[in-house]
Structure 1
Amino acid sequence: MLAIEQLRSWGLPLVEPGQIIAELAANAVTHGRVPGRDFRLALTVAPDVLRIEVTDARGDRIPEIREAGRGLVLVEALADRWGVREGPVPCKVVWAEVSFAAASRGSAIRRA
């Protein structure tokens, strides 16, 4: 996966971010798909934090944690923070942050 190679080139951990990227991308393909439109993945590194953003064309379908699904449960467990924000109409952006600082891990869902 190209995203994993990018993380590797930055010298960042691969496992947790890779799983988050895979889940958010799979959700975009499964739940955010509109014929003829793809999703967009953006990775941003700031001091001690990796931000993962997946933009899809279904701004009307806001993701939520459900008992039947495991994807966002996994994202919540692996990310320090995650949330959803409106993208350019008609899109939405689902984002997650992974901190590489020594601080304790905890997650919070936020709408930004």
Structure 2
Amino acid sequence: MNRNWVFVLLAGLVEILWVIGLKHASNTWEWLGTALAIVASFFLIIESAKRLPVGTVYAVFTGIGTAGTVGTEMLLFGEPFKLIKVLLIGVLLAGVIGLKLVTADNAEQNGEVSR
């Protein structure tokens, strides 16, 4: 996996933090942490999108964020478990993984070595 896809993965994981922060932040420090997470997440996604297909990057980023946020809400914050919700998240993740597998990054298309 090249560095740009690692950036997408990290951006998606940080997205989970800031989305949860938007819902649960209750003091200045928590709001500051949420704002910093937003900045970090968007910095990472912008950097990766400079070298990877934007549509695929965005789909992977939002898929990670959506699945992670729903899972975290269920596991940590008492959101009710609904089988249909979990199945639909699975369909979403299958689509995201499929997009990643069929999309070559620019370095691979140009015959360059990934960093």
TM-score (norm. length: structure 1)? 0.32
TM-score (norm. length: structure 2)? 0.31
Q: Choose between structure 1 and 2 for higher RCO, CA contacts under 8 A separated by at least 6 residues.
A: 2
Greater per-residue helix proportion: 2
